[in-house]
């Protein structure tokens, strides 16, 4: 492994560079959320249309990951990330001056190129270190980038109140420039085994799809993340309609999940090398199950309090923080020469599946149902993640790897 030298683009990047790259997409997804009502008024558009700035961004992120990974396997991590960040930065600036909601939606789709930061940071780590150490580094990267969803909505709301919704895009533009410059000056190429062509790289997808462990790791990550996505879809309804919280109070309680996630990421970074990724991954899924059972029990005994919903999400976030970095590491390690493609395909499946569960988490809730449909979806998703993790361990044991 080549030694890392800060701000030397001939060596592998510093972990702070990868944190910034990965955090860009997370910040772009939630910084402007408090501005949605103001954007609806500004463009004189239905709120449902304005919400497409969120769902459209997620859909574009899922689709783009399918191309970003193979492109980086063919052309290298550095040029693909730089090109993607350039598109993101220009689209962000244009979005701030969008004259209509349709134009804004189009530029939000282009902002999804920021997904290269998430996809390629994982592939870069896998390029440079072995599997168990990769899980540790991805855990630290994810822990660093959790700062964005923790403080992003608060900062975005403050900017909106002071300067209007465009200010959030101005801040994203500045962050995009900073991220581009850091990547430009610090990211050395790490892909030493480039494929012969993009077409050849896409033809390698069947090699991934035939891997039982790839599907096991991907299913574990997708169902584990799906529990959180379901919470995103149904949590606001439970908090505001059933528990009577104000939007600002919901935002404060929401930090519980991010706090648990950061702790889980830290534990992964600290102990995954000693435990191994499969054992750490299974432990994380079981912790998520415990959290959801706890929430169900609290509501069942009549404790209708925000802590019955948000307290267990600390446990859920803890489990997520242990499962997702290790499952992702396994995903990109089953075929190391296809790390970029595996990261892109696995990430697309994870976001696509999670988005579907977010819709389900909200659609089943009514004033009469109480919070139980949401908890049931989150618990079922966590149980499915546990089954998938056990399947991975079973396959690895049959192959004599553990």
Q: Residue 79 falls within a domain, yes or no?
A: yes
- Tell me, yes or no, whether 3 lies in a domain: no
Q: Provide the pLDDT for residue 319.
A: 94
Structure tokens at 398: 């049959």
261 and 311 share a domain?
yes
| 194 & 219 share domain | no
- Which residue range is the domain that position 229 belongs to? 204-402
Residue 2 within a domain: no
Residues 235 and 256 in one domain: yes
Higher pLDDT, 313 or 158: 313
One domain for residues 223 and 191: no
Average pLDDT (335-355) is 74
Question: Quick one: pLDDT at residue 163?
Answer: 87
Percent of the chain at pLDDT exceeding 90: 29
Which pLDDT score is estimated for 200?
A: 64
C-alpha to C-alpha distances, 256 to 189, 316, 341, nearest whole angstrom: 37, 10, 33
Which of the listed residues 179, 202, 225 is the one where a domain comes to its end?
Answer: 202
Half-sphere exposure of 280 (CA within 13 A, CB side): 32
Q: Does 4 score more than 60 pLDDT?
A: no
> Mean pLDDT over residues 83-110, rounded?
95
Closest CA to 77 of 112, 110, 124: 124
In a domain, 218, yes or no: yes
Q: pTM of the predicted model, to two decimals?
A: 0.71
pLDDT at residue 146 in the model: 65
* C-alpha to C-alpha distance for 118 and 27, rounded to whole angstroms: 12
CATH number of the CATH domain containing 196: 1.20.1250.20
More confident residue, 132 or 35: 35
Per-residue confidence (pLDDT) for residue 166, from 0 to 100: 92
Q: Is residue 31 part of a domain?
A: yes
Residue 224 lies in a domain: yes
If asked whether residues 193 and 218 sit together in one domain, one would say: no
Same domain, 266 and 237: yes
Residue where one domain finishes, among candidates 202, 218, 251: 202
Whether 169 and 271 share a structural domain: no
Q: Are 45 and 101 in contact (CB under 8 A)?
A: yes
DSSP letters of 4-46?
Answer: P-TT-TTSPPPHHHHHHHHHHHHHHHHTTGGGHHHHHHHHT--
For the record, the structure tokens of 83 come out as 């090109």
- Do 12 and 123 belong to one domain? yes
Q: Is 245 helix (H, G, I), strand (E, B) or coil?
A: coil
* Of 183, 202, 221, the domain-final residue: 202
- Write out pLDDT tens, residues 112-126: 999 898 888 878 887
| Together in a domain, 291 and 184 | no
Q: Count how many domains the chain has.
A: 2
Distances (CA, A) of 199 to 61, 71, 74, 203, 341: 21, 10, 9, 6, 12
pLDDT value at residue 198: 66
pLDDT digits (tens, 9 = 90+) for 184-200: 998 888 887 776 666 66
Same domain, 172 and 150: yes
Q: What DSSP string runs through 276-291?
A: -HHHHHHHHHHHHHHH
CB 153, CB 34: distance < 8 Å: yes
């Amino acid at each position: 492994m080549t030694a890392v030298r800060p701000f030397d683009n001939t060596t592998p990047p510093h972990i702070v560079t990868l944190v910034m790259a990965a955090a860009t997409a997370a910040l772009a997804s939630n910084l402007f959320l408090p501005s949605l009502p103001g954007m609806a008024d500004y463009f004189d558009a239905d709120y449902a249309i304005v919400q497409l700035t969120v769902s459209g961004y997620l859909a574009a992120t899922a689709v783009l990951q399918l191309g970003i990974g193979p492109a980086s396997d063919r052309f290298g991590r550095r040029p693909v990330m730089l090109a993607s960040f350039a598109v993101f930065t220009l689209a962000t600036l244009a979005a701030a001056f969008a004259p209509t909601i349709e134009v804004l939606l189009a530029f939000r789709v282009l902002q999804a190129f920021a997904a290269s930061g998430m996809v390629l940071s994982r592939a870069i780590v896998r390029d440079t270190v072995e599997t168990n150490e990769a899980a540790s580094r991805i855990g630290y990267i994810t822990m660093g980038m959790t700062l964005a969803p923790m403080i992003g909505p608060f900062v975005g709301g403050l900017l909106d109140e002071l300067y209007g919704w465009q200010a959030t895009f101005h801040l994203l533009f500045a962050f995009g420039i900073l991220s581009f410059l850091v990547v430009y000056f610090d990211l050395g190429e790490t892909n030493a085994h480039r494929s012969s062509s993009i077409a050849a790289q896409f033809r390698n997808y069947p090699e991934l799809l035939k891997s039982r462990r790839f599907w096991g790791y991907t299913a574990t990550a997708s169902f584990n993340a799906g529990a959180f996505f379901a919470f995103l879809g149904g949590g606001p309804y439970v908090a505001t309609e059933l528990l009577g919280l104000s939007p600002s109070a919901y935002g404060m309680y929401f930090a519980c999940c991010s706090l648990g996630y950061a702790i889980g990421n830290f534990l992964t970074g600290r102990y995954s090398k000693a435990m191994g990724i499969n054992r750490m991954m299974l432990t994380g899924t079981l912790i998520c199950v415990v959290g959801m059972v706890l929430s169900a029990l609290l509501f069942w005994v009549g404790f209708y309090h925000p802590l019955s919903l948000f307290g267990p999400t600390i446990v859920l976030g803890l489990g997520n923080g242990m499962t997702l970095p290790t499952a992702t590491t396994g995903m990109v390690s089953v075929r190391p020469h296809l790390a970029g493609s595996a990261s892109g395909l696995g990430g697309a499946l994870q976001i696509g599946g999670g988005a579907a569960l977010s819709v389900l988490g909200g659609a089943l809730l009514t004033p009469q149902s109480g919070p139980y449909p949401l908890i049931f979806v989150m618990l079922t998703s966590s149980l499915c993640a546990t089954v998938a993790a056990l399947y991975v361990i079973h396959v690895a044991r049959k192959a004599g790897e553990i």
